[in-house]
Structure 1
Amino acid sequence: MSPRQHRTRKPRGRSRVGERFEAEVGPVAHGGHCIVRLPEPEARVVFLRHAVPGERVVLEITEGTEGDRFWRADAVEVLSASPDRVTPPCPYAGPGRCGGCDFQHVRLERQRELKTEVVREQLSRLAGLDVPVVVEAVPGDQGGLHWRTRQRYATLPDGGRAMRQHRSHRLVPVDECLLEAPAPSDHTAHGHAFQVAEDGFWQVHPGAPDVLVTAVLDALEPQPGERCLDLYAGVGLFARFLAEAVGTTGRVVAVEGDARASALSTRNVPTAVVRAGDVGEVLAASYDEPFDLVVLDPPREGARRPVVEQVVARRPRAVAYVACDPAAMARDVAIFAEHGYRLASLRAFDLFPMTHHVECVAHLVPVEA
């Protein structure tokens, strides 16, 4: 796993790194941590890792200065443990160790509940919606482990393998990562093989392609003869099954920013119209006819306003929005709402067990529908 990128900020007064406080752990928050509110005289919000809501812990500040609005910390001692706390299966998980996992210390079922709380909170705060959702387990992992079909290690000076600490370039020597799958991906979905570049994007959880395709098709219910727009189409995962559903009288247009992936989608979906280029720029200049259905599978930052507005201008009867970040999804759902589209349903999948990441499929339809 690559190190998380973050800006180096100028210190705002005396460093508080290394200081310890006893505290009650508050709710989970987006990003793999819980919220702690330190009382006066500190009066700070602290984003705390390695804790479970409701626990009482000793936390140690890992990032923060006197003038910062919030600090970051690790729970280094548990004074009152949650019944959901477990011993991490990986010896490299914990404060000061590998930063790849956020929730190895939490019972797997509770991990999914925490992710559910995050998805609901993001939709409430950013889109003003109270949405029932349950993060679903996905076949293909082994108790939340051995699911990463594509794994990268850092290399130590002696040639050994390593991972990185959280928000750091510091290396942690490891023998193995327990998230790594025993075999690489076979790049198939529902029995169909796809051509993918050696270092190109494909879902890393072995169960992901099947469950995501099923969720998208169940939401859209594509019919013969319909016109479909697949945006951020990758190598054509969704376009392949949309083309099959709409048949020879239908039309599928697949737009993808990565030229190599787009070229491969022409092989994976030979009946689709394939266009390589920035999604926003392509939509602003072409394919301005009405479309019945749209699939959006944007990168982590979401589709954002220019793309959402181009989508609603084509007045689809349904949109399936595949999101790997619930905050970005919630912001885009709010933009759809401004333009007359409501969230009809939402499914969420635990495609990244032991981490804070979660995949969602949102189904959007016109308000009058």
Structure 2
Amino acid sequence: MRQVIIIGSGPAGYTAAIYAARASLQPLLVASSVEAGGELMNTTEIENFPGFPEGIQGPELMMKLQEQAERFGTEVLYDDVTELKLDGDVKTVTLGNGQVHEAHTVIFATGSAYRKLGLHDEERLSGHGVSWCATCDGFFFKEKTIAVIGGGDSAMEEATFLTRFASKVYVIHRKDTLRASKIMQDRAFANEKIEFIWNSEVAGITGADAVDGVTLRSTTDGTETHLPLGGLFIAIGNDPRTHLIHGQLELAPEGTIAVKGRSSKTNLPGVFAAGDVIDPTYRQAITAAGSGTIAALDAEHYLADLEQATGEASAIGEAQTAGRPQPADPVLTTTV
């Protein structure tokens, strides 16, 4: 029986593991078999994580967080969770290899995933001109004509960043107005390398071995045109990874896991959530790490209360037994 099982190996999961391990809770952390380390494993240089004035590569940061968690006693398993049972005092976590682990508490820190277009050639050309991360892949598009799909802050930030490398950046948006904040819009509008294509959606991605263009469909009259490109960046949002807990944990209107106030407490006792899976707004590595801290402390306090309640119940039971009248010795009688 474990004290704590942590599901997820991003900044939230590993920070929760560091705190839980330092509290001698000997946590088990389940990292994905194929996506261990989370989205930061696909990020090149991180310049805004405190403590690294020269910046740090995403994979290196995640390696350091893992090493720190393991140093204090965290056990890391590289497998995928296939089933969770979170109600009751004992939680069960079933892995892809068939193993079932039990714990008094679970910290759910599975993060979020880039939202995809759902087009036929999107996956085929992933890594060959199709990307969801400008900071990861922008360097590879020097002096190319590329496009960003989206109309929010993320899309404006991606487009502006990509102008450092690309010769031209199109922003493709299905409406004629943006969702992005005014400051992000102004910055994009002022950049001479950025051109907006309004009222259009990408209906197809072309290219044999690499992206060479997209098919655009007008959202007003349905007409289609071809736009030659050397790369395509998709910035239409993120979806929290909540498929494992549907029907068990309450969700917020944004689709993230609902927690109580500034805590990590979900609707089920002993189940806590942290990181992007509860955060529809900020989604930064440092805010995820802080959220992991909260989850570990909440779990520690829950376990302490549980231990105290169990001890008190045991003491009451012993007292009741001690004060109960004992059965008298049997009386032998003789019939004449």
Please give the TM-score of this superposition, normalised by the length of structure 2. 0.30
Which of the pair is proportionally richer in helix?
2
Higher RCO (CA < 8 A, seq sep 6+):
2
Larger-gyration structure (1/2): 2
